[in-house]
Structure 1
Amino acid sequence: MKILVLANFGMGLYNFRKELLQELIKQNNEVYISLPNDEYVPKLKKLGCKFIETHLDRRGTNPFKDIKLLFDYVRLVKSINPDVVLTYTIKPNVYGGIACSITKTPYITNITGLGTSVENKGLIQKVTLMLYRLGLKKASCVFFQNETNRNFFIDNKIVKGNTRLIPGSGVNLEEHKFEDYPNWDENIRLLFIGRVMKAKGVEELLKAAKMVKKEYPYVNFDLIGGTEENYNQQLDELEKLDIVKYHGKQSNVHSFIKESHATILPSYHEGLANVLLESASSGRPVLASRVPGCIETFEDGRTGFGFEVKNVESLFKVISNFIKLPYEQKKAMGIAGRRKMEKEFDRKIVINAYLNEIKKTMDKERYNEPIRKTS
């Protein structure tokens, strides 16, 4: 069986979906991946994937480039003639879905989050929802990573067919193994992992960090992730003042999680936050905004703490409360978080959901064989 995967960048595909790709290849399927060329493509090829480069501007809004992407996808699907297509993130979901509809190719979509273009009301939101309706119209199954996103799509009549809720991308419990809690050495390390951009709550985090350092100078803030918006100057200034330490993009986040006492994510919206799953799996409490995609990953007061989104005072209060917790209570939070991951978020749950939906889709196609497309 030929399976084509459409994605927008290699890091997400490799870090969060490589186990699914490995399982599909292990079952003797030909797995093609189409995405922009980046440093993760060699790793994906090493798994056994066949790479086809697609030029895609993840954050761009140029309609001519998007139309070109649609035609590129149509040509790609016709050329490979896959049995099923798997799509991830907004542009592959929309334009890949339309391309599959045009070529009468079965496809399974994963809504990894609403994104800023949907979260912010206005013309762009209306256009995006219209495109989503076209892109998801004939999907064999639409996976959602949280119930709020699924209800939003159903209420806005974007999806009508088969939908299924999965625990995000899940977490590899072995790769993000449980780590002993760091010893108390008169310093507390708080970690942010994510793209350095407004929608991840970076502005609130930096403001709260200034307040925390003033009251608790022994607290260290480590930030990991590429800058997608212009925060470089601000980060440089805060580093000189010893308020934060910015480490840039890192291929091995686990080593940073291991050394931290908690992970902070003040994001405005998420599909389901992988960094929180990985941190909890490693035995670290999580401090996160109370938004869909974050609230599912922790139990407030037991495995972490929630705070109000876009609210610096709320974020500062939660950090302060966490700092004041006895060492053994912080440690117990991490242990409880790991147990939650083992029970609810094992990546094998996601892999099995995909295998199940692919089988159902292929069974349906075989049943309707006379009207199946031909190459």
Structure 2
Amino acid sequence: MKFILFANTDWYLYNFRLSTARELQARGVDVVMVSPPGEFGQRFAQHGVRWIPLRMQRASLNPLREAGTLANLVSLLRDERPDLLHSFTLKCAVYGALAARAAKVPAYVNAVTGLGYVFASQRAKARALRPVVSTLMRLALGSERSRVILQNPDDAQAFHSLRLAPPQHIRMIRSSGVDIARFNADGRGSRGEGALRVLLAARLLKEKGVQEFVDASAQLRAEGRDIHFLLAGMPDEGNPSSVTRSDVEAWQAQGLVRWLGHVDDMPALLRDVDVMALPSYYREGVPKSLIEAAACSIALVTTDLPGCREVVTRDGHDGLHVEPRSAASLARVLARLDDDRALLQSLGERARQKALADFDERVVIRRTCEVYDELLPRPLAEAA
């Protein structure tokens, strides 16, 4: 049996779906990763997973180029003849489903991890694309041979109200999961002294609240507070909402943030962080940075918006909420944690408890395999 996992970056597949691939291998499945070329693709070989690069421009709107991408994907599927295609992110879900139909792939699963730029942004370009993308989604996702996986109830409601997929084909699995053995509180003591260290780890998109994070740093610095702001992640050149490298370099030169770029060893970084901040005003799925930080007993600060509210469910209990698009609100909350280290500690402890209960990747992978079993002629074998 062969499965293909298809996403718009090799980085996503390597960081978020390698554990799924390894579990499938343990169940006797031949797993192939497909994505546009990138620096992570070659790493799959270390884990015995084959990777095939596919030419694809994420931000392209050129009809001829997009038709070429779709044709190449159809050709790849016909050559590989998988039993199941699992596509991740909105564009890949649509293209994957259309290509799977054309190539007569027996089953396909479409994971939409947040509705993304087209549905989140109010820019003219996004509004113009919305009806086109909605029509394509209805066409692509309606087959009896397919399922749609969403990560939060808000997206499920949006899919229902916009009639993007048949309700009976939608399954909800909260997040891509976190390895709770790798991400843990080992080596972390009480952070009752010293400068507060606040991290934002994400693709550097404006909708993630990056500018508000920087502005909060400037405000707290002007107040004389010694709070260290760390920024992990890279500009996303394929996304029109990305901040630029020159922006980030300027913020670092002004002393507002310390830019870490891409971080391979996130557990090591999180052992020396007090707060994970994600002031997103974006339709998230369930943000990976929040659940990884929660597993490490780190206090969480985020907005009460789709995806984020799945992790911080109650303000003051498992994290703190801030107002969207408000650097002042973020600054107030961080000042509060700077002054109240007991609250900092208790929020981190309850975040870890929630991660153990709701975001263990073993549960996520098991539930994903159950979705596969709905479409396969015979259930997957249990892992040895």
Q: What TM-score do the two structures reach when normalised by structure 1?
A: 0.92
- The alignment partner of 1:133 has SS state of helix
Q: Which residue of 2 aligns with 1:34?
A: 34
Residue type at the aligned position of 1:360: E
Q: Which residue of 2 aligns with 1:199?
A: 207
Q: Which residue of 1 aligns with 2:335?
A: 320
Distance 1:16 1:189 in 2: 25
Q: Which residue of 2 aligns with 1:334?
A: 348
Q: Which residue of 1 aligns with 2:115?
A: 114
- The alignment partner of 1:44 has SS state of helix
The answer on whether the counterparts of 1:264 and 1:288 sit within 8 Å (CA) in structure 2 is yes
For residues 236-269 of structure 1, the C-alpha deviation after alignment (integer angstroms, 9 at most, x for no partner) is 3332332211111121222221111100001122
In the TM superposition, residue 104 of structure 1 has moved relative to its aligned partner by: 3.0
The answer on whether the counterparts of 1:181 and 1:284 sit within 8 Å (CA) in structure 2 is no
Q: Which residue of 1 aligns with 2:64?
A: 64
> Number of aligned pairs?
364
Structure 1 unmatched runs, 5+: 366-375
In the TM superposition, residue 174 of structure 1 has moved relative to its aligned partner by: 1.0
The answer on whether the counterparts of 1:118 and 1:128 sit within 8 Å (CA) in structure 2 is no
In the TM superposition, residue 235 of structure 1 has moved relative to its aligned partner by: 3.0
Distance 2:358 2:79 in 1: 39
Distance 1:205 1:61 in 2: 31
| Structure 2 residue corresponding to 1:153, chosen from 155, 159, 165 | 159
For residues 23-55 of structure 1, the C-alpha deviation after alignment (integer angstroms, 9 at most, x for no partner) is 111111111111122222222222222222101
Q: Which residue of 2 aligns with 1:275?
A: 289
Q: Percent identity?
A: 26
- The 1:238–1:217 alpha-carbon spacing in structure 2 relative to 1, beyond 3 Å, is farther
1:245 and 2:261 aligned = no
In the TM superposition, residue 321 of structure 1 has moved relative to its aligned partner by: 2.0
- The 1:237–1:193 alpha-carbon spacing in structure 2 relative to 1, beyond 3 Å, is same
The answer on whether the counterparts of 1:211 and 1:316 sit within 8 Å (CA) in structure 2 is yes
- The alignment partner of 1:320 has SS state of helix
The answer on whether the counterparts of 2:42 and 2:51 sit within 8 Å (CA) in structure 1 is no
For residues 265-307 of structure 1, the C-alpha deviation after alignment (integer angstroms, 9 at most, x for no partner) is 0112211100000001001011012211111112320221011
- The alignment partner of 1:212 has SS state of helix
Alignment of 1:159-170 (within 5 A): 159-160=165-166, 161-170=168-177
Residue type at the aligned position of 1:157: R
Q: Which residue of 2 aligns with 1:80?
A: 80
**Stretches of 4+ aligned residues off by more than 4 angstroms:** none
Q: Which residue of 1 aligns with 2:3?
A: 3
| Structure 1 residue corresponding to 2:141, chosen from 136, 149, 158 | 136
Q: What TM-score do the two structures reach when normalised by structure 2?
A: 0.90
| Structure 2 residue corresponding to 1:309, chosen from 318, 324, 346 | 324
| Structure 2 residue corresponding to 1:296, chosen from 295, 310, 317 | 310
The answer on whether the counterparts of 1:182 and 1:259 sit within 8 Å (CA) in structure 2 is no
* Superposition RMSD in Å: 1.8
1:225 and 2:225 aligned = no
The answer on whether the counterparts of 1:181 and 1:283 sit within 8 Å (CA) in structure 2 is no
Structure 2 unmatched runs, 5+: 237-241, 380-384
The answer on whether the counterparts of 1:181 and 1:261 sit within 8 Å (CA) in structure 2 is no
- The alignment partner of 1:142 has SS state of strand
For residues 85-109 of structure 1, the C-alpha deviation after alignment (integer angstroms, 9 at most, x for no partner) is 1110122101111011223321011
In the TM superposition, residue 209 of structure 1 has moved relative to its aligned partner by: 1.2
